[in-house]
Structure 1
Amino acid sequence: MDGRRAGSTARHLALTAAADLSLDAVRAALAGTTPLAVLPDGPPAVVAAARRVLRPGEPLEPGADLVVVTSGSTGSGRGVLLPAAALEASAAATHARLGGPGSWLLALPVSAIAGLQVLVRSVLTGTGPEVLARDEPLSEAVRRLPAGRRYTALVPTQLRRFLDEEPAALRAFDAVLVGGAATDAALRARAREEGVAVVPTYGMTETAGGCVYDGRPLDGVRVRVTDGVELAGPTLALGYRLDPAATEAAFADGWFRTRDAGSLGADGRLTVTGRLDDVVISGGVNVAPAAVEAALREHPDVADAVVLGRPDATWGQRVVAAVVPARGATPELPVLRAWVADRLGRAAAPRQLHLLDHVPLLHTGKPDRRTVAALIPEV
C-alpha cells in the first residue's frame, strides 16, 4: 500500500540535518513512507529560521513527500512542498537530456534543491554519489568516480573557481550543470573554450530544480512569458508549507509564476533577464542589476560582482557595485563606470564601488545580497 495514502493518520516531517542526510532517508521520502525536510548547515540562527518555516509539529499537507526551504535571498524563506513524482520526473528528464544515467559528484549542499537532486538522481539510478569534501581538489574527487558517464552540478562561483584552478578536472565530466544564480555569457564562453561540457540551467525549488537547460525546457516542461516567466509541467511543486496565501499568489491553473523577467525567442529558447522586483531606478531609468553584474565580470580587473541600489538624493537610486578584484588587480570606480556605460548606458554605470575579499553566499550557493548590502557603508 502507498504510504502516502494509507489510512487517515496525519503525516509529520522528519527533520534531518544536512550533515546527517542519508540515501536511505531520500529513498524513504521518494517511496512516500517518511516525508523529509533537510535543515541547512550554518549558524544557529539560520537553522532556527528554517525550523520556523518547516513547523514540524504541524501535519504535513497531503501529497507532499519532501519539503525544501528556499534561500530567502530577497525575503524570508519558504518551505516548498514537493511530491516524489515531481522529483522523479525531474531526474528522469535530466538524464534523458544529458544522454542517459551516470554517476554524480555532489558538490553542493543537500539542503538546497540542486544538491538534493544529485541524491535523488543517484537513488533512482541505483548508484551512490561521490562527495566533494570541503577544500578537496576537484581532481581528487573525479578520480573516485567510476568509469562511464559522469556528471556534476555547480553554482557559477564554483565554476569560475574550478576554471581558474583545475580546468582539466572539469573536462572529465560529460555534463556540468550550472545554476542557482545567473551564469553570464562570458563565463559560459570561457568554460566552453576550455572544453568543458557546461549546461546552464534555469529553475528553482518550486520546479524541483533546473527545468530549462540551455534555454530549452526539459521533456514535459512548458514555458510561457506573460508579465514574467511562468513554468508548468510534471516537476512542479504543490505550493508552500502552511502558507495558502503565498501558494495562491504563485501557483494557478497548473502554472508557477516565477517573478523573473524574460523572453522567448522565435525558436522557443528562453532568455531570463533578471528579477521583476530587482530593478534599480536611477534618474528615471530602469537598471537590471544582473546585466550590470555580467558587464562587470567581463572586465579584466573583476573576478566577481554583486550590484544593488541605494537611495540617492539626486538620482532617486544610485547603482552600487561590490566587486571581488581579479588576482593582482585594483578596480577603480572611474574605469568601471566607463566600462559599464559603454555597454549598458550611463544610467547603469555604478556610482559607488566597494571591494570584497569574496562574495558571501547563502546555503544554496546564491549570493547573499543582504549580507553584501550590510558590508557597504552609506555615503
Structure 2
Amino acid sequence: MRPVSVGEAAPLLPVLENLLAGRDAAILPVPAADERQAALLTTALRAGSPIDDDVAVVVSTSGTTGTPKGALLTAAALRASADATHDRLGGPGRWLLALPGYHIAGLQVLVRSVVAGTTPVSIAPSFDVDDLPGAIAAMGSGRRYASLVAVQLDKALRDAGAAAALAELDAVLIGGGPMPAGVAERAEAAGVTVVRTYGMSETAGGCVYNGVALDGVTVRIVDGRIVLGGATVAKGYRNPISPDPFTEPGWFRTDDIGMLDDSGVLRVLGRVDDAISTGGLTVLPQLVESALATHPAIADCAVFGVADERLGQRVVAAVVLSSAATPEVAELRAHVAQTLDATAAPREVHIVDELPRRGIGKLDRRALATRFG
C-alpha cells in the first residue's frame, strides 16, 4: 500500500481507474495540504507494509481519538457503491466535487465519476459558495449531482445565487450527520433536491438514501444498534479493534442506534457513545436536538452530557440563536418536554456563536463537553 497525496482531483482519477480495473496496488489517500496529518496516517496505517491483494483503498476513519483504524475497501465494494448510487438517482451523470478526496464522501465522487466515464468539476478542498454557480454551469447538460455535508448546504442556501445553482442539479446528496434546524425546509423552498445519506468509510460511503438501503445493501437492528451488510462493506480495519465490528463476514456493526419502521425505513437516533446517562435513564442527544430545533429562537444546537454528582450526568445544550431574543432555560425545558420525557430536557444552556465541528462537518460534542464540563 502506498500513500497518495490528494489535493487536486485530476491526478487521482487515473489512479482510481487503474485500481477499479485491478491494475494497481492499494493506496492510502492523505491530505496534500496537511503534512502533519499525512505523516500521521502514513505511519499509523503502515503505508509500505504488505496488504491483501484485493484491497484497493485504505480510507482513514473519522474518529476523534486513538490510532486511525483505516477501512479496507476493495474495488468491488467501491464499484458496487457507485453503481447502486447511480441506479437510485436515475442513472450515471457528472459530479461536483466539493469535499476532499481523502475523505470517503469525496473519494466516492471520484469513483462514481470514473465509473460513469465523466470528469468531475471540482471546488474542493476549499468550499466557497461564490464558486457554486460557475462550477455548476461548467458541468454542462445531462444528469448532474453533488455531494455535500449539511453545513455546506446551509451556507449555500444563505446565498441566492448558490441556492439557485444547486436547484439546477438532479440531486444533492447530504451526509456527515443530521442537518441543522430548518435546513431541509429551506432547501425544499429553494427547489433543491436533497437526498439524505447514511453511511461511513466502513460501508464505502453512504449506503442508505432517505432511509432506504441501496440495492445490494441490507440493514438490521441488533440490540438497538444499526448493522449494515452487503457488497459495499469493507473487509475490515487496517488496525483491528476489539470487539471487532466485522466479526460476522459481510456485515458491519455500527456504533449508531436506530430503528426500522413498518415500511423498512431506517431512522438514525444517535450514537452509542453520545448517549447521556442521567438519573439512571438514557437520553439520546439527537432526539433532544430535534426537539430543541423546533423552537423559533434556535438556529442550531448541540446536546451533550457533563458530569453531575447527583445524576451521574446532566443534559446540557449549546445553542446558536436565530434572533436577538434569548430563551430562558425553563422555557426550553418546557418546549422539549412537549415531545420528550422531561428527563431529556436540558438543565443547562449555553449560547454560542457557532458549534464546533470536525472532519468534513461532524458535530464535535466532545469539544463542547470539555468546554462546559
The alignment's TM-score, normalised by the length of structure 1, stands at: 0.88
Structure 2: how far apart are the matches of 1:217 and 1:185? 25
Give the superposition deviation at 1:118.
0.5
Name the SS for the 2:77 alignment partner.
Answer: helix
- In the other structure, the counterpart of 2:346 is 350
User: Which aligned pairs between 1:151-170 and structure 2 lie closer than 5 A?
Assistant: 151-166=145-160, 167-170=163-166
Within the candidate set 267, 273, 287, 1:271 is matched to: 267
Give, in angstroms, the shift of residue 28 of structure 1: 2.8
CA deviation map 1:38-64 (0-9, x unaligned): 114676554443233321132123321
How far apart are 1:19 and its partner, in Å? 4.9
Q: Are the aligned partners of 1:361 and 1:368 in contact in 2 as well (CA < 8 Å)?
A: yes
Instruction: Map 1:77-96; keep pairs closer than 5 Å.
Output: 77-96=68-87
Q: Following the alignment from structure 2 to structure 1, what is the Cα–Cα distance between the partners of residues 294 and 68?
A: 31
Query: Contact (CA 8 Å) 2:289, 2:301: kept in 1 or not?
Result: yes
CA 317–68 in structure 1, closer or farther in 2 if over 3 Å, else same:
same
SS for the counterpart of 1:250 is: coil
In structure 1, C-alpha distance between the alignment counterparts of 2:288 and 2:208, rounded to whole Å:
23
Q: Secondary structure in 1 aligned to 2:362?
A: coil
Shift of 1:145: 1.6
Unaligned runs of 5+ in 1: 1-11
Once residues 330 and 339 of structure 2 are traced to their aligned partners in structure 1, the CA distance between those partners, rounded to angstroms, is 15
* Residue of structure 1 in register with 2:231 after alignment: 234
Q: How many angstroms apart in 2 are the aligned matches of 1:147 and 1:94? A: 19
| 1:280–1:226 distance in 2 versus 1, CA, 3 Å | same
Q: Distance in 2 between matches of 1:42 and 1:310?
A: 35
Q: Which of the numbers 16, 30, 39 marks the counterpart of 1:26?
A: 16
Is 1:134 paired with 2:127? yes
Question: Displacement of 1:328 after TM fit?
Answer: 4.5
| Structure 1 residues 40 and 234: alpha-carbon distance in aligned structure 2, compared to 1, 3 A threshold | same
**Letter paired with 1:140:** G
Q: 1:67 to 1:349 in 2, by over 3 A?
A: same
Aligned to 1:9: none
Farther-moved stretch of structure 1 (21-30 vs 142-151): 21-30
1:340 to partner: Cα distance: 1.9
**For each residue in 1:292-327, what CA deviation from the matched residue of structure 2 results, as whole angstroms up to 9, or x when unmatched?**
122222222222222211001122101121222225
CA deviation map 1:307-354 (0-9, x unaligned): 211001122101121222225554543332332222222211112222
Corresponding residue for residue 289 of structure 1: 285
Cα distance in 2 between the residues matched to 1:76 and 1:325: 36
Hey, what's the Cα distance between the residues in 1 that align with 2:64 and 2:87?
Answer: 31
**Residue 16 of structure 1 contacts residue 36 of structure 1 at CA under 8 Å; is this kept in 2?**
no
- Segment of structure 1 superposing worse, 190-199 or 287-296: 190-199
Q: Structure 2, unaligned stretches of length 5 or more?
A: none
Residues 40 and 50 in structure 1, CA contact (< 8 A), matched pair in contact too: no
What pairs up with 1:335-346 in 2 under 5 angstroms?
335-346=331-342
Q: 1:309 aligns to what SS in structure 2? A: strand
**Alignment partners' CA distance in 2, 1:372 and 1:185:** 19
Distance 2:210 2:104 in 1: 19
Q: Distance in 1 between matches of 2:255 and 2:246?
A: 9
2:216 and 2:155 map into 1 onto residues whose CA distance is 34
Count the aligned residue pairs.
365
From the superposition, tell whether residues 160 and 251 of structure 1 become closer, same or farther in structure 2 (CA, over 3 Å).
farther
Q: Closer, same or farther in 2 for the Cα pair 1:335/1:328, shift >3 Å?
A: same
Asked whether the 8 Å contact 1:232–1:254 carries over to 2, the reply is yes
Change (3 A) 1:216 1:117: same
Q: Indicate whether 1:302 and 2:298 are aligned.
A: yes
Q: Which amino acid aligns with 1:141?
A: A
Q: 1:74 to 1:301 in 2, by over 3 A?
A: farther
Q: Structure 1 residues 353, 134: closer, same or farther in 2, change over 3 A?
A: same
Partner of 2:105: 114
How far the C-alpha of 1:75 sits from its partner, in A, is 5.6
Moved more, 233-242 or 340-349: 340-349
Deviation by residue 1:238-264 (Cα, 9 ceiling, x = unmatched) = 100042x44844341321111211122
> 1:268 Cα deviation (Å)?
1.6
- Say if 2:3 and 2:30, in contact at 8 Å, map to a contact too: no
Aligned residues of 1:15 and 1:36 also touching (Cα < 8 A): yes
Trace 1:37-186 onto structure 2 (pairs within 5 A): 37-40=28-31, 45-73=36-64, 76-132=67-123, 133-137=126-130, 138-166=132-160, 167-183=163-179, 186=182
Equivalent residue of 1:90, what SS? helix
Q: CA RMSD in A?
A: 2.3
Q: How high is the sequence identity, in percent, across the aligned residues?
A: 47
C-alpha displacement at 1:368, in angstroms? 2.8
> Does the 8 Å contact 2:69/2:239 carry over to 1?
no
Shift of 1:22: 2.4
1:163-195 CA-to-partner distances (Å, cap 9, x unmatched) read 232332221111111112124785434422432
| Contact 2:93/2:143 (<8 A) preserved | yes
* Cα distance between partner residues in 1 of 2:65 and 2:267: 21
Report the secondary structure of 1:29's partner residue.
Answer: helix
How big is the shift at 1:100? 0.7
Amino acid in the other structure paired with 1:152: A
Q: 2: CA distance between counterparts of 1:74 and 1:350?
A: 26
